[in-house]
Amino acid sequence: MDLEHQTMETFLRWAAEIGISDSIDSSRFRDSCLGHSLSVSDFPLAGGRGLGAVRELKKGELVLKVPRNALLTTDSMVAKDQKLSDAVNLHGSLSSTQILSVCLLYEMSKGKKSFWYPYLVHIPRDYDLLATFGEFEKQALQVEDAVWVTEKAISKSQSEWKEAGMLMKELEMKPKLQSFQAWLWASATISSRTLHIPWDSAGCLCPVGDLFNYDAPGDDSSNSDGPESAMLTASPQATSTTNQECRNNGEEAGRVAETQSERLTDGGFEEDSNSYCLYARRKYQLREQVLLCYGTYTNLELLEHYGFMLEENSNDKVFIPLETSLYSLASSWPKDSLYIHQDGKLSFALVSTLRLWLIPQSQRDKSVMRLVYAGSQISVKNEILVMNWMSKKCGSVLRDLPTSVSEDTVILHNIDKLQDPELCLEQKEIEAFGSEVRSFLDANGFSGKTVDFSRKTNRMISKWRLSVQWRLRYKRTLADCISYCNEKRNHLLSTQDRIGDL
Ligand SMILES: C[S@@+](CC[C@H](N)C(=O)[O-])C[C@H]1O[C@@H](n2cnc3c(N)ncnc32)[C@H](O)[C@@H]1O
């Protein structure tokens, strides 16, 4: 048995001892907290390490219960350590997330002496969140908005780290744990692994509960097995599944309503049992991966907060730069509602604004405005203009980006070859991959040298891959938008001709 496997067994035994269980009757299982409903498995194509069903699970079934004393929160860490408590109390100006990051690093510094040691050793050592991207990976995103979001994430991490510096110093933590690298690790752990709790906006780290991988909210009705309302009454205190959902304040009302119903299906902290309770959000077959909905995220948001993205993400939104006069005309809709869906269709607000923008001002009377706000076409002529304009716009955005869809597809393929340990490529072969690969080698000091595939290099390659994957998905959406608009325009032209023939 390898070391990883052994420590995982120790972790699951420790979890059972402190009352974590995937069974209603937790006293029955002493050797592991799992085995009745779930088991830890590897899902290489959907999040890596995760939790699989060990039997058929019904929608709404309780699959994991984690008592409050097992949760890693600022309160629970501070309660076990007077020095930490005294120091934290002197830094009320720090945000709750900054405090939780310091507490987590402080807890790490205790090593085996920490109550949560069996859990802490299983937290990943590396993350791919945008804040951890280097200059090369950031530029590889290509799209200005995405580069800007990455810059913002990096500078936010830096300033939060500097602000927390004094507290870490007072706690006399080892220099390594006070470093920016350690801070990035702690804040990425919190961003990607915490669950929402009602008493601390920073959330909690939930041993075993943080092994669930992500499923985007969607239509699960096909897998429905039992009334959803049963869930709503079973967990009345379940206000939110993950802490990250709280970031989505101010989103469209429909989206919030949708997310709320998802939250209630997944679970939350329940006062009655003083535990975090997680429920199957749909029916699962034996060995299927059991997933949790962390919230409604675009691919860029998933990258920013979790360090991964989904090829198929019905919540993805593609933003393109639009004319200033269009934005001012769209004042009744927020700027972030003007986007393209992943399948290439225009958002309601975008198509409505374009309809209005492309009609002469003198014709924008009450009846036209009524049609626009109802989401209806103003006229065939106007609709053809909208589709033509959008198709041309997407075409020009695509042309202005440094690489095309087909070039990115090749680059992605080459990165996969680079990452394949079986291939053992020679330097010359690697350089033949193309200019972006050569730039990557240059940027990382490998030009002319043998590439050493150390952990650090592999991490950089993974982040670079994510950037290419993200921009490729972005470009594919624009290409789909062009097809959608052209098709719609051609259809309208043909109906116009037919009307003309009559
Ligand atoms: C709460 S953890 C889930 C467990 C995690 N796989 C582990 O090994 O600890 C969240 C992280 O898992 C990964 N992840 C979750 N869902 C994923 C998915 N659908 N595709 C790819 N990665 C995913 C991401 O790295 C994310 O930051």
Which residues, at least 6 apart from 378, have a Cβ–Cβ distance to it below 8 Å?
355, 356, 359, 368, 371, 372
Q: Give the per-residue pLDDT at 428.
A: 63
ipTM of the complex: 0.99
> Per residue in 163-221, pLDDT tens?
999 999 999 999 999 999 999 999 999 999 999 999 999 999 999 999 999 998 874 54
Q: Quick one: pLDDT at residue 394?
A: 98
Phi-psi category of 60—alpha, beta or left, where left has phi over 0 and alpha has psi -120 to 50? left
Output the pLDDT for position 130.
98
Residue 277 alpha carbon to ligand 1 centre in Å: 19
Q: Among 93-102, 139-148, 345-354, 429-438, whose mean pLDDT is lowest?
A: 429-438
How many other C-beta atoms lie within 10 A of the C-beta of residue 139?
Answer: 16
Domain boundaries 316-502, CATH class? alpha beta
Q: Higher confidence at residue 24 or residue 108?
A: 108
Residue 458: its pLDDT value, please? 87
Q: Quick: pLDDT tens for 284-299.
A: 999 999 999 988 999 9
For residues 390 and 502, which has the higher predicted lDDT (pLDDT)? 390
Highest mean pLDDT among 30-44, 168-182, 407-421: 168-182
Percent of the chain with pLDDT strictly greater than 90: 72
Round to whole Å and give the CA distance between 188 and 254: 29
Alpha carbons within 13 angstroms on the beta-carbon side of residue 429 total 8
Sign of the CA dihedral running 325, 329, 331, 334: negative
Which architecture, in CATH terms, is 20-26+37-71+206-306?
Answer: Beta Complex (2.170)
Query: What confidence score (pLDDT) does residue 216 get?
Result: 87
Query: What is the pLDDT at residue 440?
Result: 85
Domain map (residue ranges) of the chain: 20-26+37-71+206-306, 81-193, 316-502
- Per DSSP, which regions of 188-345 are E strands? 194-197, 200-205, 213-214, 267-270, 275-279, 289-292, 317-318, 340-341
Task: Give 414 or 13, the one with higher predicted confidence.
Answer: 13
Calpha distance 47→82 (Å, rounded): 38
Q: Is the pLDDT of residue 442 over 70?
A: yes
Q: Is the CB of 304 under 6 A from ligand 1?
A: no
**Of the candidates 387, 373, 406, 375, which has an alpha carbon nearest to the alpha carbon of residue 475?**
406
* Higher pLDDT pick, 476 / 218: 476
CA distance 185 to 432: 35
461 Cα to the center of ligand 1, angstroms: 18
In this structure, the strands spanning 289-292 and 213-214 are parallel
Question: Among 249-258, 314-323, 339-348, whose mean pLDDT is lowest?
Answer: 249-258
User: Which of the four pLDDT bands, split at 50, 70 and 90, describes residue 273?
Assistant: very high
Give the position, in ligand 1's atom list, of the atom nearest the Cα of 292: 16
Contact 338, 393 (CB under 8 A): no
The whole-number pLDDT of residue 437 equals 81
127-154 pLDDT, tens digit each: 999 999 999 999 999 999 999 999 999 9
The CB of 211 under 6 Å from ligand 1? The reply is yes
CA of 48 to the centre of ligand 1 (A): 7
Ramachandran quadrant class, 203 (left: phi over 0; alpha: psi -120 to 50; beta: rest): left
Q: Give me the phi and psi of 56, to 5 degrees please.
A: -70, 130
Whether residue 238 is predicted with pLDDT greater than 90 in this model: the reply is no
Give, using CA atoms, the residue closest to atom 18 of ligand 1. 47
Separation of CA 315 from chain center: 11
pLDDT for 218? 72
User: Measured in angstroms, how far is the CA atom of residue 308 from the centroid of ligand 1?
Assistant: 8
Between residues 275 and 240, which one has the greater pLDDT?
275
Q: Angle 477-478-482 (CA atoms, 0-180°, nearest 5)?
A: 115
Out of 214, 288, 309, mutate this one to test ligand 1's pocket (max ligand atoms within 8 Å of CB): namely 214
Residues 320, 390: contact at Cβ < 8 Å?
A: no
Identity of the residue numbered 395: G
Displacement of CA 272 from its chain's centroid (Å): 31
Rounded mean pLDDT, 24-52: 89
- Which residue is listed with tokens 């940027």? 443
Interval 299-324: pLDDT, tens: 999 999 999 999 999 999 999 999 99
Which of 409-423, 439-453, 466-480 is the least confident region? 439-453
All residues at 6 or more sequence positions from 289 whose CB lies less than 8 Å from its CB, including other chains = 41, 43, 46, 47, 50, 51, 52, 53, 213
50 DSSP β-pair partners: 41
Distance 195 CA to ligand 1 centre (A): 13
Give the pLDDT band of residue 253 (cuts 50, 70, 90).
Answer: very low
Please state, in angstroms and rounded to a whole number, the distance separating the CA atoms of residues 168 and 394: 49
Structure confidence at residue 161 (pLDDT): 98
Residue 224 scores a pLDDT above 70: no
Instruction: Indicate if ligand 1 lies below 6 Å from the C-beta of 269.
Output: no
Residue 37 near residue 53, CB atoms below 8 Å: yes
Residues 6+ apart with CB under 8 A from 304: 129, 130, 131, 149, 150, 153
pLDDT reported for residue 261: 42
Above 80 in pLDDT, residue 103?
yes
pLDDT for the residue 439? 86
| Whether residue 161 has its Cβ less than 6 Å from ligand 1 | no
Residue 383: pLDDT above 90?
yes
Asked if the model's pLDDT at residue 236 lies above 60, the reply is no
pLDDT at 271 over 80: yes
In terms of C-beta density within 10 A (0-12 exposed, 13-18 middle, 19 or more buried), how is residue 325 classed?
A: exposed
pLDDT at position 399, please?
Answer: 98
Q: Is the pLDDT of residue 122 over 70?
A: yes
Q: Is the pLDDT of residue 75 over 70?
A: yes
The per-residue b/e assignment along 227-246, b for 16 or more CB within 10 angstroms, e otherwise, is eeeebeebbeebbbbbbbbe
CA of 429 to the centre of ligand 1 (A): 33
Q: Ligand 1: does its nearest atom lie under 6 Å from the Cβ of 308? A: yes
The CB density around residue 79, as the number of other CB atoms within 10 Å, is 12
